Amino acid sequence: MALSESGLPIEPLYGPEALEGWNPETRLGRPGQYPFTRGVYPSMYTGRPWTMRQYAGFGTAAESNARYRQLIAHGTTGLSVAFDLPTQMGYDSDAPIAHGEVGKVGVAVDSVEDMAVLFDSIPLGEVSTSMTINAPAALLLLLYQLVGQAQGVPSDRLTGTVQNDVLKEYIARGTYIFPPKPSLRLIADVFQYCKAEIPRWNTISISGYHMAEAGATPAQEIAFTLADGIEYVRTAVAAGMDVDDFGPRLSFFFVSRTTLLEEVAKFRAARRIWARVMREEFGARNPKSLMLRFHTQTAGVQLTAQQPEVNLVRVSVQALAAILGGTQSLHTNSFDEALALPTEKSARLALRTQQVLAYETDVTATVDPFAGSYAVESLTDQVEAAAVELMDRVEEMGGAVAAIERGFQKSEIERSAYRIQQETDAGTRTVVGVNRFQLDEEEPYEPLRVDPAIEARQADRLAKLRADRDSAAVDRALGALRRTAEGSGNVLHPMKEALAARATVGEVCDALREVWGSYVPADSF
């Protein structure tokens, strides 16, 4: 008998007995209706396809802007911004700690001027933008709003998502800045600010993707992601918000692996669990608060540097799994991402993969084509049960933050990652081109390389910005931000004033570090 990625049994043959005693009305419902197993919208892709996003960003804002305009010209329907590590951790490009990392894994954004260049000639009232940024998410969202205002776009027309999910940073990724408590306050402040100022914006994308890339199984991925989601909802409710004031703007972010059947089951199970939690635990009344809407990215961890063109096949299968699972938007990785940042050609091929699936296959002709499948319905129930068991263990520890502080999620994921590596090394798990079907010699490949001179150019831009701006106005605005952070007011209002006065990302984050401190994980002592 085969085992799924989550260690669940996959039978060689399924029949009616797999669903004995199974009630399709309570387990399935209809598409667009509780418990949303079959999808969050009645028509799903029969009305229109998912949003096709391509995650991109590197080097300077001008270089990334050129890539975005190319992607839009090739048919991308939504932008997805990758920021470099200094930006993700709240440091300016000229900070000593940023040396060697500027523009490497994403675009360097130090100020409102960089953000203006990043979206030059891109009408923000017409595109949907997702920003993969967490600890300093509020800053980048405000910079986006400021650029939109400079373009003459009313804030209530801005649409997109800011990832803003810091709890998974403590679990699996590490680009945190502040301790959990003020980080959760900042997230609640974003919820409140956007309800009043940017009402069409998705205020958080609660992410399991990075946990999966670190080694989490499908069951662990949705369990720990939904547990984080519960923590965010509790934080917002404790801050005085009604669950239906922000619930409809919550969104999620998952991986899609090559194990197609379990991935489809995972997405269906996640929708069902979230709908039940929001209705039964939090008393949500708005049906949109019950909907688990999610973005998917194909599994970067499954891409190989060996025979990289084979990754085109992997990405196609992963994308198909996300579509059959009912994703709302999708990024397909480029085949060369195990080697370097994707080239323009490889990024275009990744987008073409989505377009072939959307327009040359029949997967968009019907809603939830696997509904009623003995195998998929059985797997959906199994994944749901395994995820709920893990969520219950998190609850027994006092919730997601308490479990993080005990290292529970991290240790569970590390065990799974170790098992996968052992299986790969032993050859019991086949990875084409790595431990089977190898070539004697790999074909040469010329990767995209980021110009190391970008760091000096960004430093020059920062020096000019600091020389040209009103320093007294910046100091006043940063002082107001510190005072608000020391109290209980919403920090986004003084933060916006500081950014509008051309304070830098690093200066704003430093002001908050002075008040809130920086997070140091327990295992670092």
pLDDT in tens, 354-410: 999 999 999 999 999 999 999 999 999 999 999 999 999 999 999 999 999 999 999
CB 5 within 8 A of CB 257: yes
**Terminal alpha carbon distance of the chain:** 44
Q: Say yes or no: 83 and 215 in one domain.
A: yes
Do residue 365 and residue 489 come from a single domain? Answer: no
Q: Is residue 17 part of a domain?
A: no
Written as one letter, the residue type at 48 is: R
Q: Are 485 and 382 found together in one domain?
A: no
518 and 393 in a common domain? no
Q: In degrees rounded to 5, what are phi and psi of residue 294?
A: -145, 150
Q: How many domains does the chain have?
A: 2
C-beta of residue 214 within 8 angstroms of C-beta of residue 224: no
Compute mean pLDDT per 10 residues along the chain, 525 residues long, and list them.
94 94 89 98 96 90 95 90 97 97 96 98 95 97 98 97 97 95 97 97 97 98 98 96 96 98 98 98 98 97 97 98 98 94 92 97 98 97 98 98 95 97 96 96 83 94 98 98 98 98 98 97 59
SS3 label, residue 342: coil
Closest C-alpha among 275, 363, 380 to residue 322 = 363
Does residue 458 sit within a domain?
A: no
Task: Output the pLDDT for position 524.
Answer: 43
Burial 355-375 (b: 16+ CB within 10 A, else e): eebbeeeeebeebbebbebbb
Q: Which of 360, 391, 426 is the last residue of a domain?
A: 426
> For residue 327, how far is the Cα from the chain centroid?
13
What pLDDT does 341 receive?
85
List, as own/partner pairs, every contact residues 436-440 make where C-beta atoms lie below 8 angstroms and the sequence separation is at least 24, other chains included.
438/306, 439/306, 439/307
Q: pLDDT value at position 523?
A: 62
Check: CB of residue 79 under 8 Å from CB of residue 71: yes
Q: What local confidence, expressed as pLDDT, does residue 355 receive?
A: 97
Residue 26 within a domain: no
Give the pLDDT confidence score for residue 335 in this predicted structure. 96
Residue 30 lies in a domain: no
Residues 497 and 359 in one domain: no
What residues have CB less than 8 Å from 280, skipping those under 6 apart?
Answer: none
Same structural domain for residues 111 and 237?
yes
Which residues is 159 bridged to in the sheet?
A: 128
Please tell me the distance from the alpha carbon of residue 87 to that of residue 106, in angstroms, as a whole number: 9
Which residues, in sequence order, are bridge partners of residue 295? Answer: 253, 329
Query: Residues in the chain, how many?
Result: 525
36: left (phi over 0), alpha (psi -120 to 50) or beta: left
Q: Are residues 386 and 519 in the same domain?
A: no
CB 481 within 8 A of CB 454: no
Helix/strand/coil (H/E/C) assignment for every residue in 56-73: ECCECHHHHHHHHHHHHH
Instruction: Tell me which of 369, 395, 426 is where a domain ends.
Output: 426
103-128: pLDDT as tens digits: 999 999 999 999 999 999 999 999 99
Owning domain of residue 255: 40-426
Cα(211)–Cα(4) distance, integer angstroms: 18
pLDDT reported for residue 451: 87
Q: Are residues 192 and 105 in the same domain?
A: yes
Here the tokens at position 453 are 């001179």
Beta strand 2-3 with 9-10 is antiparallel
Classify residue 360: in a domain, yes or no. Answer: yes
Residues 6 or more apart whose CB falls under 8 angstroms from that of 455 comprise: 93, 98, 99, 100, 102, 103
Sign of torsion, CA 400 401 406 407?
A: positive
**Which ranges of 120-179 would DSSP assign to H, the alpha helix?**
137-150, 167-168
Do 407 and 510 fall within a single domain?
Answer: no
Q: Which of 426, 449, 484 is the last residue of a domain?
A: 426
Flag whether 463 is in a domain: no
CATH number, domain at 165?
Answer: 3.20.20.240
The answer to whether the CB of 318 falls within 8 A of the CB of 256 is: yes
Task: List 122's β-bridge partners, or say none.
Answer: none
Q: Do 32 and 290 touch, CB atoms closer than 8 A?
A: no
Residues 360 and 477 in one domain: no
pLDDT at 233: 98
Nearest to 129 by CA among 105, 110, 113, 153: 153
How wide is the angle at C-alpha 442 spanned by C-alphas 354 and 308, nearest 5°?
A: 15
**Does residue 44 form part of some domain?**
yes
Same domain? For 191 and 257 the reply is: yes
Decide: pTM greater than 0.75.
Answer: yes
| Together in a domain, 136 and 204 | yes
In a domain, 174, yes or no: yes
Quote the CA–CA distance of 268 and 252 in Å, as a whole number. Answer: 13
Per-residue model confidence (pLDDT) at position 525: 35
